[in-house]
Amino acid sequence: MLDGKLITFEGPEGAGKTTVLAIIAQRLKEKYKAILVTREPGGITISEKIRDIILNPDHIEMNEHTEALLYAAARSQHYFEKIEPSLKEGTLVLCDRFIDSSLAYQGYARGLGIDNVRKINSFAIGDKLPDITILFDLPPEIGLSRITANQERENNRLDQEHLAFHQKVREGYLQLASKDKERIVIIDANQEITKVVEDVWQALLKKLI
């Protein structure tokens, strides 16, 4: 059996990743038998528990090294318990955030250094990278205003960071994309949702054919 593919959805807060991923997953189900939708940090019991620790807004004392290590620990368990076995069964895995979040948030915006965060992740999951990454790009103030308007969304510890931090996250992502044009496709997320969905769909079709 052919191995599946790992497709990751990345971008700053409120970029529309989760909303668009759900619509794209529905469409892909018409073409592919096996689709798995998952997320980071989380996706399985242990990693969801780590998520609760990392994102708890009361944990303001968490230092940036602990934060980076916890994201990597959650990823290791998620990858080996859920993602890798699914890929081996030929499943198309759609993951809401993955390693590029750690590189952009912890490596670039927190200032730990992209290479240091790569090393932690290399210990956690080896040299695994997504096959395709969709990067939702938009000015952070627009993403943040979207999540503030969404009453149902829980406010997490990273949402509370100042605008300059979220601007750095965006810069970090764009820097990663400029160095890996083959894997990372930038989508303008500051458009009507239907247009964003269509752009993501076309990008995926091109890569999956």
Ligand X SMILES: Nc1ncnc2c1ncn2[C@@H]1O[C@H](COP(=O)(O)OP(=O)(O)OP(=O)(O)O)[C@@H](O)[C@H]1O
Ligand Y SMILES: Cc1cn([C@H]2C[C@H](O)[C@@H](COP(=O)(O)O)O2)c(=O)[nH]c1=O
CB of 55 to ligand Y, least distance (A): 6
Is the backbone of residue 19 left (phi > 0), alpha (psi -120 to 50) or beta?
Answer: alpha
Q: Is 13 in the site for ligand X (CB under 6 A)?
A: yes
Q: Is 130 in the site for ligand X (CB under 6 A)?
A: no
User: How far is C-alpha 4 from the chain's CA centre?
Assistant: 18
Strands lying side by side in the sheet with 5-10: 35-39, 92-96, 5-10, 132-137, 184-188
CB of 128 to ligand Y, least distance (A): 14
| Interface characters, 140-179, with ligand Y (x: CB under 6 A) | ----------------x-x---------------------
Segment near ligand Y (CB under 6 A), from 24-32, 33-41, 127-135, 138-146?
A: 33-41
Q: Is 124 in the site for ligand X (CB under 6 A)?
A: no
Q: 106 Cβ partners below 8 Å, 6+ apart? A: 64, 67, 68, 71, 112, 117
**Residue 14 annotated as binding site:** yes
Closest CB to ligand Y among residues 60, 209: 60
Residue with the closest Cβ to ligand X? 16
Q: Is 10 in the site for ligand X (CB under 6 A)?
A: no
Rounded distance, CA 162 to CA 148, Å? 14
User: How far is C-alpha 112 from the chain's CA centre?
Assistant: 19
Task: Report the binding-site residues for ATP.
Answer: 11-18
